[in-house]
A and B are shown apart, each in its own frame.
Chain A
């Protein structure tokens, strides 16, 4: 089963999203802040990361930048999740190295499609 790392500081959202993902059959690992997310990404070696951008202390941009700069984690697809609806966020997410982008509140069906597509892609490569 593909393993998904969910980095999200809001407890309710973390709980809700992880349960829905588990229901879909994914193994879900959660982190409530950037640092924990970074270390989990390295030791758990997930197949995909859902990265909330607005995190306390080290934010999602920073974690993404670190992960994409590291050879051992570079290959893990990252989907940025942001509540910021500003135009620049979408461009920034792609520019910083995120593989995809979605806004919160998540449309679960749409998010599932994006996850699936990235996982298939990863498997092939």
Chain B
């Protein structure tokens, strides 16, 4: 409907108008009707009264048949405008006298049946009958007819008034209602405006103004509350957004900074690597520069010694030996500085061999006698009978003893330096224990803390008084660790000191990567523990340089390497460590490679271990016949060896590998071999 879509203003005005108009019209019309009805009754009574008077006045004339008189009486009705017809009927119903308004011919109609007395409305006319009597005797009937002109006029006038009144009051109502509709429509329109503003501007701070406390007022309250809530959420959202933005910026900043830091670190790493390379080069050069003159010193003194011996001048031999000894000591010192840097780089290797402990002790004591004599010290040696040979890196054992003994001599004045060597059993293993005891100045508890640190002498004044680089005990400590031994000191200031070194009687070769982490405080792991996680390869070769090379190379491929110097040891270790594979040399003293291979393959526990022959002997057919998996000829092609050991490693994890055909490799080049083998041209080397 059209009405429904009108604005609320219009609707309100319209409703007010309609309501008031209908009420007004209804009441006015009912009043009008009432008035007109009562006015007509009044007219009717008035006409009847008129009729009675005329009837009375004309009774005489009727009696006397005086028609003119009767007509004259009737003519008096001219004053009454609304009476249009007056007729006097004789008792027989015939017209006696009549009057028609304006003397016109009778325009209306005359009643057919006469009545005695009464009034009626007939055809828009009011008609009245009146009996004319004289002395109670009926002499005729009077008929009056009125056109109710007065009534019509009144009705017309009333209608006009009514229309004017309705119009005026309607206008007034329009005025009032249009004034008053604002009471309702204004707040609603205001609310609507506010809403539009909020939705178009997204401004949640706007509030609708509450004018009255009616339902609309409550609606506005509700709307405002809702807005407040939205605003709150909006603010919260905005602040969260702000925070998010800030955080994002911070993150970006952080990422940027990290990137920068990373770049700097990378740069620093490059610089450090560069520095490390420079250091290595420096060390190499320095060792070269120092070794070249030493070469001459030692060489010439050896030559002189030989010649002196030949010519029989024995008295000079001792002095020449001292030159040699000092030269060799100097050489070993140079080596130690290099060793320390190698330890630092995790590149220190052990060169294990069997040696006579007593011989080493004797050597060291002889070397240090002059140093002891300088401070008026005497050296006493107690070697237990049980001590015989041990397997270790003899150079490092020598260095350890040299360092401890020279320290003891240095820090003791006119006292005794004693060396005790014993073989003990500790934690089910055999150990050789060296104890160096002095009666010197001793070490305080605080000094003990840094005793085994590089360049950390107990006291700065010590360097001035006693000299030294402060490297001795650090290297000693590292060497002991490298051989899985222990070192400790017991001392009180002024009460002398006792250094104890405990080394395994049989040091087992270990890959050297662990050295650094061990020196950082980890407990040294035993051979069986270090095996876990990495596959073990057993290298059986009598040549130490081959063992060393193989160990290094295979360690780089992330294998745990155990080396044996002869066949017997090889078989023992094979049972002990259950290696992934064995590399086996053929030419070895006592028990040769063929014998070892035979024993391995006839032992049900060991037969499954693949054996790679690594030898100068070119007899591949024999090796493969006897059960070797592969046959390599020295010098070993590293790439080939790497491929082979990898294949065996893969084969152990997935037994299905059928690719393990025996491979052989022939190449030229005897390196450090002691026995002659067939020589093959270098053509197949790659």
Binding site for B on A (CB under 8 A): 10, 12-13, 16-17, 19-20, 23, 54, 74, 82-87, 90-91, 94, 97-101, 103-106, 108, 114, 117-118, 120-121, 124-125
- A105 near B294: Cβ-Cβ < 8 Å: yes
Q: Name the B residues within 8 Å of A20 (CB-CB).
A: 299, 302-303
B545 beta carbon closer than 8 Å to chain A:
yes
- Closest A residue to B545 by CB, please name it: A90
Q: Nearest chain B CB to A30's CB is how many angstroms away?
A: 15
- Across the interface, which residues of B come within 8 angstroms of A117, CB to CB? 673-674
Per-residue A-contact encoding for B654-686, CB less than 8 Å = 1, 0 else: 000000000000000111111010110010000
* Residue in A closest to B672 when the chains form the complex, CB atoms: A100
CA distance A20 to B306 in the complex (A): 10
Residue numbers in A under 8 Å from B283 (CB-CB): 86
B552 touches A87 (CB 8 A): yes
The CA of A96 and the CA of B523, in the complex, are separated in Å by 40
Q: Mark B194-208, 1 if CB is under 8 A from A, else 0.
A: 000000000000000
Closest approach, in angstroms, between the C-beta of B406 and any C-beta of chain A? 22
Q: Contacts of A82 on B, CB cut-off 8 Å?
A: 288
How far, in angstroms, from A118 to B298 measured CA to CA in the complex? 25
Give A74 to B292 CA distance when docked, in angstroms: 28
User: Please, which residues of chain B bring their CB within 8 A of the CB of A120?
Assistant: 676
Which residues in A have their C-beta under 8 angstroms from that of B306?
A: 23
The verdict on B381 contacting chain A, using a C-beta distance below 8 Å, is no
Q: Which residues from A are CB-within-8-Å of B289? A: 83
B670–A83 contact, CB under 8 A?
no
In angstroms, Cα B672 to Cα A86, docked, is: 19
Cross-chain contact A114 with B672 (CB below 8 angstroms): yes
Interface residues of B in 313-332 (CB under 8 A from A): 327, 331
A105 and B295 in contact, given A87-B552, A117-B674 (Cβ under 8 angstroms): yes
* Cβ–Cβ < 8 Å partners of B293 in chain A: 12
9 extra A-B contacts, CB within 8 A, seeds A12-B293, A20-B303: A83-B289, A90-B545, A94-B635, A99-B670, A104-B291, A105-B295, A108-B302, A121-B673, A125-B679
- Whether B338 sits at the interface, judged by CB under 8 Å, is yes
A94 to B678, CA, bound (A): 19
Query: What would 27 A/B residue contacts be, using CB atoms closer than 8 Å?
Result: A10-B292, A13-B292, A13-B295, A13-B299, A16-B300, A19-B303, A23-B303, A83-B288, A83-B292, A83-B295, A84-B287, A85-B335, A86-B280, A87-B342, A87-B552, A90-B545, A90-B549, A91-B552, A97-B669, A99-B669, A99-B670, A104-B292, A117-B674, A121-B676, A124-B676, A125-B676, A125-B678
How many of chain B's residues have a CB under 8 angstroms from any CB in A? 40
B303–A16 touching, CB < 8 Å: yes
Q: Across the interface, do A121 and B670 meet the contact criterion of CB distance under 8 Å?
A: yes
Question: Which of A17, A54, A94, A105: most chain B CB closer than 10 A?
Answer: A105
List residues of chain A with CB within 8 A of the CB of B275: none
Q: How far is the CA of A17 from the CA of B682 in the complex (A)?
A: 31
A105 touches B298 (CB 8 A): yes
Contact A106 B288 (CB under 8 A): no
Q: A83-B291, A84-B284, A85-B335 are in contact. Are A10 and B672 (CB under 8 A)?
A: no
B288 touches A54 (CB 8 A): yes
When C-beta atoms are compared, the residue in chain A nearest to B349 turns out to be A87
* B601 on interface, CB distance cutoff 8 Å: no
Q: Does B40 contact A (CB under 8 A)?
A: no
Verify A10–B299 contact, CB threshold 8 A.
Answer: no
Chain A neighbourhood of B287, CB < 8 A: 83-85
Contact check, B296 vs A12: say whether CB atoms are below 8 A apart. yes
Q: Considering the chains assembled together, what is the distance between the CA atoms of A103 and B549 in angstroms?
A: 16
Question: Which among B296, B327, B676 has the greatest number of chain A C-beta atoms within 10 A?
Answer: B296
Tell me if B347 and A17 are in contact (CB < 8 A). Answer: no
Complex interface: chain A residues within 8 A of B676 (CB): 120-121, 124-125
When distances are taken between beta carbons in the complex, the residues of chain A under 8 Å from B679 are: 125
In the complex, chain A residues whose CB is within 8 Å of the CB of B288? 54, 82-84
Find chain A residues with CB under 8 A from B280 CB: 86
| A54 to B679 alpha-carbon distance, docked (Å) | 30
A50 to B412, CA, bound (A): 47
- The residue in chain B whose Cβ has the minimal distance to the Cβ of A107 is B298
Please determine whether B549 and A13 come into contact, CB atoms closer than 8 angstroms. Answer: no
A100 CA to B670 CA, complexed, in Å: 8
Given the complex, which residues of A lie within 8 Å of B331, measured CB to CB? 105
A113 closest partner in B (C-beta): B674
Q: Which of A16, A83, A114, A124 has the most CB of B within 10 A?
A: A83
Of A99, A105, A124, which contacts B299 at CB under 8 A?
A: A105
Top 5 closest pairs, chain A to chain B, by CB? A105-B295, A83-B288, A12-B296, A83-B291, A16-B299
B552 — which chain A residues lie within 8 A by C-beta? 87, 91
Cα A118 to Cα B682 in complex, Å, equals: 17
Within the complex, the shortest CB–CB distance from B271 to chain A, in Å, comes to 22
CB under 8 Å from chain A, chain B span 325-372? 327, 331, 335, 338, 342, 347, 349
Q: Which of B284, B294, B327, B349 contacts A86 (CB 8 A)?
A: B284
A19, chain B: closest CB distance, angstroms: 7
* Chain B residues, Cβ within 8 Å of A90: 545, 549
| A104 proximity list for chain B (CB < 8 A) | 291-292, 295
On whether the beta carbons of A108 and B299 are closer than 8 Å, the reply is: yes
Binary flags per residue of B614-652, CB closer than 8 Å to A gives 1, else 0 = 000000000000000000000100000000000000000
Which residues in A have their C-beta under 8 angstroms from that of B682? 74
Residues of B within 8 Å of A87, CB to CB, are: 342, 347, 349, 552
Bound CA span A10–B292, Å: 8
Q: With a CB–CB cut-off of 8 A, which chain B residues contact A19?
A: 303
- Complex Cα–Cα for A118 and B335 (A): 28
By beta carbon, the residue of chain B nearest A125 is: B679
Name the CB-closest residue of B to A109: B302
CA distance A103 to B288 in the complex (A): 10
Closest to B296 in A: A12
Bound-state CA distance A97–B674 (Å) is 18
In the assembly, what is the distance between CA of A91 and CA of B673, in Å?
A: 16
Q: How far is the CA of A16 from the CA of B259 in the complex (A)?
A: 60
A87 to B676, CA, bound (A): 27
* A84–B335 CA distance with the chains assembled, in angstroms: 11
Chain B positions within 8 Å of A101 at CB level: 545, 671-672
Complex: A12 Cα to B298 Cα, angstroms: 11
Q: Name the CB-closest residue of B to A19.
A: B303
Instruction: Report whether A100 and B671 are in contact in the complex, using a CB–CB cutoff of 8 Å.
Output: yes
A105 to B549, CA, bound (A): 21
Residue of A whose beta carbon sits closest to that of B327: A105
Q: Are A106 and B299 in contact (CB under 8 A)?
A: yes
**Nearest Cβ on chain B to A53's Cβ, whole angstroms:** 9
Chain A residues with CB under 8 A of B299: 13, 16-17, 20, 105-106, 108
Shortest B21–chain A CB gap in Å is 119
Q: Which residue of chain A has the shortest Cβ distance to B634 in the bound complex?
A: A94
Evaluate contact between A16 and B296: CB separation under 8 angstroms. Answer: yes
Which residues of B sit under 8 angstroms from A106, Cβ to Cβ? 295, 299
A85 contact from B296, B338, B549, B674, Cβ within 8 A = B338
- Report A63 CB to chain B, min CB distance, Å: 17
Interface residues of B in 271-289 (CB under 8 A from A): 280, 283-284, 287-289
From B334, which residue of chain A is reached at the shortest CB distance?
Answer: A85
Contact present for B303 and A13 (CB under 8 Å): no
Contacts of B672 in A (CB 8 A): 100-101, 114
CB-CB under 8 A from A13, the residues of chain B are 292, 295-296, 299
How far, in Å, is A64 (CB) from chain B's closest CB? Answer: 12
Query: What's the nearest-Cβ distance from chain A to residue B394, in Å?
Result: 14
